[in-house]
Chain A
Amino acid sequence: MAQEHAYDYRAVKGFAISSLFWGIVGLLIGILISLQLVYPQLNVTSWLTYGRLRPLHTNALIFGFTIPAAFSIFFYLVQRLGRTQLAFPGLAKALLYLFNTAIVLAALSLFAGMSQSKEYSELEWPLDLVIVVIWVMFAIIIIGTIVKRKEEQMYVSLWYILATVVGVAIVFIGNNLVVPVSLFKSYSVYAGANDANVQWWFGHNAVAFVFTTIPLAIFYYILPKTTQAPLYSHRLSIIGFWSLVFAYLWTGAHHLIYTPLPDWIQTVAISFSIFLIAPSWASVINGYGTMKGQWEQMRTSYLVKFIILGITFYGLQTLQGPSQAIRAFSALTHFTDWVPGHVHMGTMGWVTMTISAGFYYMLPRIYNTELYSVKIANAHFWLVLMGQLIYSVTMWITGIRQGAMWQAMEADGSLVYSNFIDTLTPNYAFWNMRTAGGIIFFAGFLLFVYNLYKTIRLAPKASSA
């Protein structure tokens, strides 16, 4: 009996707390840069300028919030789904310290303007090497635990965990091949269009292996667990998984439509982007199918609300994304605020809601206690939902508006709005609304952290450390 239940949750707890902490930091920077877009006087000093803080915002929420959330929840899932203890617990402890040190150094380097300039690959090469070490340690723990599992069959969540492990490794290394000129400066090995092509192959598959396979691994576990209903279709989850990890890698160039990158690469990317609706919706349908006959849980369970709204935003995201890949639509919305609107439906809706559900599910269980307050969890839900909708909808509106103003031409072929500034300033009202949406979202996130803090504080002290 002792064998069966001797799970090791120390690293699970450490990474959960790290994730919540860096989540708060990343969201605060998000609010600041949102304000800076309307109030340039907030760029008070060089290391607090928008150009340096925007990468800090994205990196903090990708590497600081989402990745440790995955470490935490994955270390829980591999133990539960394998019915075995975490492999290499000492390595996991070292990983926790190394990870947080790396995030601090990463933040300092971005404040200082050290940047490779490629989106989500900004960190300079010494930090990239640290990230590789971190990822190898993570992979050893995950694979080591899976190999020694006692449950023969690997459940769907474990597939998505393994896909995350190998997928991030491949795209991260591929895009960060650089030639150093000093400790703080390097140049990409790729040039021009090739560099752009590699960058967006990476960029879009960071979406695949950070913002898709991570929440999907969580989703496939906590939905059946929470609803006490079996997964709708195992067959669908197999088809969905393999077609997703196959198709995603072909789609990067939809970020480069109408560029001089060879047309065939763009067209292949557009085609695969449309195809990607199918495997994405395989998971959405699996989620809704599992709810069959259980829909009343949307009223009775705060967790089900997070999970189902999360997968719903995933469904919407994976319809909106492919439509943006269509040439005519790209011509209108690319380079506008439509795009951050799109991204934030995925990150604030799908990713954060699902990670929140994962923490809400997992933390009370590993601390042998109940959630501190379901009421606060419900308030958290409504605040992040409202905040995200305000964010996305305002950005879609102003994105279309600005795209249309850029396109507007008189009959004689001259531009209606020839001064760029005239197409920019109408953004300000929308950007202020976006800031308000961000603050509402942040308030919800603070309630979330407070709720988990109280849950942990009230845990019986006897629980295994």
Chain B
Amino acid sequence: MFVDRNITEVTIMDVDKKPVLFIILAVVTILAGTLATTFIPLFMGTASPSRENIKFYTALELEGRDIYIREGCNNCHTQMVRPLKFETARYGDYSTLADSAIDRPHLWGSKRTGPDLARVGRKYPAAWHVIHMKSPQSMYPKSNMPPYAWLADRDLNTKYTEAKMKTLGYPYTAADLRALEGKTEMDAIIAYLLRLGNELR
């Protein structure tokens, strides 16, 4: 019942009778766009800016960034100011390649349930963030952001900090690592937020 009259006329190389050939052709077809738009650009350098002027993450900022990832902040906050007038008016300078050049993974985001955070480090001091993180509703009664007061009660786990810095190739000193002692997760995430928008030397 599936076979229409013209079926033999439109069969090329009998590909629909040879599964292995079919798989090879499908892989080649899939790899064409994959290589052209995604993997060849990796080696073209156009999406990989010079890292000369970029401030590397400190150990505390990196741990804060990992808490940002753990809590899925990127589900509601972008870090991508588009070069559009109404965006730069709201958030500040539009995002450049340099802003995220050392970010693994990137945290550009895809949904703004809350505002963009790419430049938030220029906007508020640490004390503001502490109050806001503990209870967003204390500042904005109608905010829908979950309260994160519990981050202040949790000591920062520094077991893997050195391994992380090494893996990512960020420079650090023994003093940087010692400075993490006694820090809470709240300290770390706020250090990270304060850095956003201040990526360049």
Is B167 a contact partner of A179 (Cβ separation < 8 A)? yes
Chain A contacts of B107 at CB under 8 A?
Answer: 117
Given A143-B19, A192-B103, A424-B144, A335 contacting B6 (CB threshold 8 A): no
Cα-based distance from A115 to B90 in the complex (angstroms):
30
Bound form: Cα–Cα A339–B145 in Å: 20
B109 smallest CB distance to A (angstroms):
8
Question: How many B residues touch A, CB cutoff 8 Å?
Answer: 86
The answer to whether B173 has its CB under 8 Å from any CB of chain A is: no
In the bound complex, CA of A170 to CA of B138 (Å)? 47
Residues of the B chain whose Cβ atoms lie less than 8 Å from the Cβ of A340 = 111
Report the Cα distance A425→B143, complex, angstroms.
8
Q: Report the interface size class on chain A.
A: 35 or more
**Main DSSP-derived SS at the A contact region:** helix
C-alpha spacing A163/B112, complex, angstroms = 34
Contact of B48 among A51, A166, A194, A272 (CB under 8 A): A194
Residues of B within 8 A of A197 (CB): 37-38, 41, 47
B25, closest chain A residue (CB):
A242
A178 to chain B, nearest CB (A): 9
The segment out of A232-240, A310-318, A354-362, A454-462 that lies at the interface is A232-240
Determine whether the beta carbon of A195 is less than 8 Å from that of B78: no
Tell me whether A55 and B72 are in contact in the complex, defined as CB-CB below 8 angstroms, given that A191-B101, A272-B33 are known contacts. Answer: yes
A5-13, A90-98, A260-268 - the one binding chain B: A260-268
**Given A192-B103, A193-B100, A336-B112: A249 and B168 within 8 A (CB)?**
no
**Assuming A113-B70, A259-B80, is B147 touching A193 (CB within 8 A)?**
no
* A272–B33 CA distance with the chains assembled, in angstroms: 10
Residue on B nearest A117 in the bound complex, by CB:
B69
Asked whether any CB of chain A lies closer than 8 Å to the CB of B52, the reply is no
The reply to whether the CB of A130 lies closer than 8 angstroms to some CB of chain B is no
Residues in B whose Cβ lies below 8 Å from that of A38 = 144
Is A190 on the interface with B (CB-CB < 8 A)? yes
Q: Is the CB of B23 within 8 A of A335?
A: no
Residues 190-227 (chain A) with a chain B CB within 8 angstroms = 190-199, 201, 224-225
B34 — which chain A residues lie within 8 A by C-beta?
170-171, 174, 201, 249
Assess whether B70 is in contact with A114, with CB atoms less than 8 Å apart.
yes
The answer, among B36, B46, B86, for a CB contact under 8 Å with A406, is B86
A162 on the B face (CB < 8 A): yes
Whether A137 sits at the interface, judged by CB under 8 Å, is no
Residues on A with C-beta less than 8 A from B114 are 420, 424
Mask of B1-45 contacts with A, CB within 8 angstroms, 1/0: 111101100100000110110110011011111101111011000
Interface stretch, picked from A300-308, A365-373, A379-387, A408-416, is: A408-416
Instruction: Please indicate the chain B residues that have their CB under 8 angstroms from the CB of A250 in the complex.
Output: 33, 36-37
B85 lies within 8 A of chain A by Cβ? yes
Quick check: B105 and A166 within 8 Å, CB to CB?
no
B interface with A by C-beta (< 8 Å):
1-4, 6-7, 10, 16-17, 19-20, 22-23, 26-27, 29-34, 36-39, 41-42, 46-49, 66, 69-76, 78, 80, 82-87, 89-90, 95-97, 99-115, 136-137, 140, 142-147, 150, 159-160, 163-164, 167-168
- Jot down 6 A-B pairs with beta carbons below 8 A, ordered by A: A153-B17, A192-B99, A196-B106, A251-B33, A415-B89, A415-B90
Q: Which positions in A face B, CB cutoff 8 Å?
A: 36-40, 43, 46, 49-52, 54-55, 113-119, 143, 146-147, 152-156, 158-159, 162-163, 165-167, 170-171, 174, 179, 181-182, 185, 187-199, 201, 224-225, 228, 230-231, 233-235, 238, 242, 245-253, 255-256, 258-262, 265, 268-269, 272, 331, 335-336, 339-340, 406-409, 413-415, 418, 420-421, 424-425, 428
What are the 8 closest A-B residue pairs judged by CB atoms, nearest first?
A51-B72, A249-B33, A43-B146, A250-B33, A258-B82, A192-B100, A113-B70, A335-B112
